[in-house]
Amino acid sequence: MSQEFTAEQIQQALQGIAIPPQPQIMVDLQFEQYMPDPDLETIAKLIAQDPGLSGALLKLVNSPQFGLSNKIGSIQRAVNLLGSRSIINLINAQSIKGEMTDDTIVTLNRFWDTAQDVAMTCLMLAKRTGIQSPDEAYTLGLFHDCGVPLMHKRFPTYMEVLEDAYAKASEETRVVDTENRAFNTNHSVVGYFTAKSWRLPEHISGAIANHHNALAVFRDESSRNTQTQLKNLLAVLKMAEHICASYRVLGNQAADHEWNVVGSLVLDYIGLTEYEFQELKHTAREMGGH
């Protein structure tokens, strides 16, 4: 059921998407699309590495024009449903969204690197622990920090405040509390609204909103269905963030203060011992070349 989207329809669907695509991935995609016979699988793999492009893709496939009865959170499925013509129109629409300064690219490299790393690690952990649809765990990993580049665009001092927020993370102070004090908003909230504008499934958007609120979530004893789904997603994400050292790449910290507060609750919930988790960590780092 591949439905073609015109360039105009795509431009309309992309209104409000402001996360720039990664320059190198755009180059690789342009190269692939000029092949005599573009390979959809290669294109899908490239798009799945980039939060901006993946967001645009899911927004398109979940748009009313496409007419799916349920929203989907799988990037691979979205590529298969859209087909190569629409995908190429989408890439072209994203490639004319304006140039970035070198400084911006250097700063956003920190975001892009963690997004890809955390997404791949979420996928591996979801498969190993068997608690969540791996595709959706991957999508959450890719998008969980999508508020970061938007905050950076809006507030020039954002990255320094984010580093400060990671430094101050404790049982009493969440990463987002420090951001709230500085800006009256934070990257989890901005990420949540971005995910909603991309029409991601609500449980993925909800996990983005709560990804620095894990202590409260895991202390909540209720076994409501929505809570279980949220805990499953957040457990995989928090483990992946720790393994990929987001605290170092984004937060510029030597220690993972947030994991020190919430880690034992997460492992209890998943049913992993500290030793088993260290083994998983080792496997993930070997796979990702960390």
Give per-residue pLDDT as tens, 222-253.
Answer: 767 668 889 999 999 999 999 999 999 999 99
pTM, 2 dp: 0.85
Is 37 part of any domain? yes
Q: How do residues 36-45 score in pLDDT, each as one tens digit?
A: 887 888 888 9
- 131-158: average pLDDT: 90
Q: How far is CA 231 from CA 26, 209, 235, 245, 265, in A?
A: 35, 13, 6, 21, 11
- Rounded Cα distance, 27 and 32, in Å: 9
Same domain, residue pair 185 and 240: yes
Q: Which residues span the domain enclosing 80?
A: 7-95
Same domain, residue pair 54 and 114: no
- Rounded Cα distance, 23 and 269, in Å: 39
Q: Which of 75, 95, 115 delimits the end of a domain? A: 95
Is 1 part of any domain? no
Same domain, residue pair 42 and 173: no
Same domain, residue pair 43 and 158: no
Q: Which of 95, 123, 156 delimits the end of a domain? A: 95
- Rounded Cα distance, 89 and 78, in Å: 14
Q: Quick one: pLDDT at residue 274?
A: 95
What CATH number does residue 209 fall under? 1.10.3210.10
Tokens of 215: 């202590």
